[in-house]
Amino acid sequence: MGNTITEGYADSLDVVFNMDLFHIEKGVKDLDKLSKRLIRAAEKEALEAFVNMVVQKLQTNVSLAGYPELAARIKTRHRRGRIEIWFDAPHAVYLEYGTGIEGSVNPHPLATTIGWGYMVGKFSGRGSGWWYPADESYGFQKTFIGLNGQMYAYTRGGLSAGMFTHRTLEWAKRNYTRYFRKVLRTAIKSRYGK
């Protein structure tokens, strides 16, 4: 019989606890070790499930911001004990933080914190606007392919900040603790009953 909480993990062990009335101190220490193992197992399960929820929330927020094709470009990986979520699209940062006049009117909440700037004002040369990395899926009127093979698109007014990643991160901050408590409560109930 395997441990239902850690089932499927390589380090899965049955959770067993025995209390000996003649060795209560040892029993308390064993109970403490058991609860720590249970918490670690529940945390691992909760983290993996929560990452899936975050990706789904990010896909929804990307679509609501008007960039549904970007939802397919979300990637995840486990690295050095952390889980990373990112976009496999060089233009995603421009859609997140916004650009130009539109971006400066509706700036991203973290724009000044990270040093993001919005180009506004008069431009010399080919009118007021600029080129930025893009993707063929947007169907821009003016595009060119750079020497590095990257497509660039032209804009005059810029883009409002999409803030899809920011909104997802704020949602994750508000909901992780609540979700972890729920998973831990469920793990304890499934193992020990009410």
- Give tens-digit pLDDT for 149-189: 887 777 777 788 999 999 999 999 899 888 888 887 887 77
The DSSP string of 112-134 is HHHT-----S---SSSS-EEEE-
* pLDDT score recorded for residue 8: 43
Give the integer Cα–Cα distance in Å for 29 and 47: 27
Cα 68 to Cα 133, 137, 162, 191, distances in angstroms = 18, 10, 12, 42
Average per-residue pLDDT in the chain? 77
The pLDDT tens digits of the residues spanning 94-136 come to: 899 998 888 888 899 999 999 998 876 655 445 566 676 776 6
* pLDDT score recorded for residue 32: 73
pLDDT at 74 over 90: yes
Look at residue 153 and give its three-state secondary structure.
strand
Give the integer Cα–Cα distance in Å for 7 and 9: 6
Confidence of residue 190 (pLDDT cuts 50, 70, 90): confident
* In the chain, domain spans: 24-65+164-192, 92-155
Counted residue by residue, the chain has a size of 194
Q: What is the mean pLDDT of residues 45-62?
A: 89
Measured at the CA of 179, the angle between CA 177 and CA 183, to 5 degrees, comes to 115
Is 69 or 78 the better-scoring residue by pLDDT? 69
**Residue 177: which H helix or E strand, with range?**
helix 164-192
- What is the percent of the chain with per-residue pLDDT over 90, rounded to a whole number? 27
User: Which of 60, 15, 16, 17 lies closest to 41 in space, CA to CA?
Assistant: 15
Q: What is the pTM of this model?
A: 0.66
Is 131 or 70 the better-scoring residue by pLDDT? 70
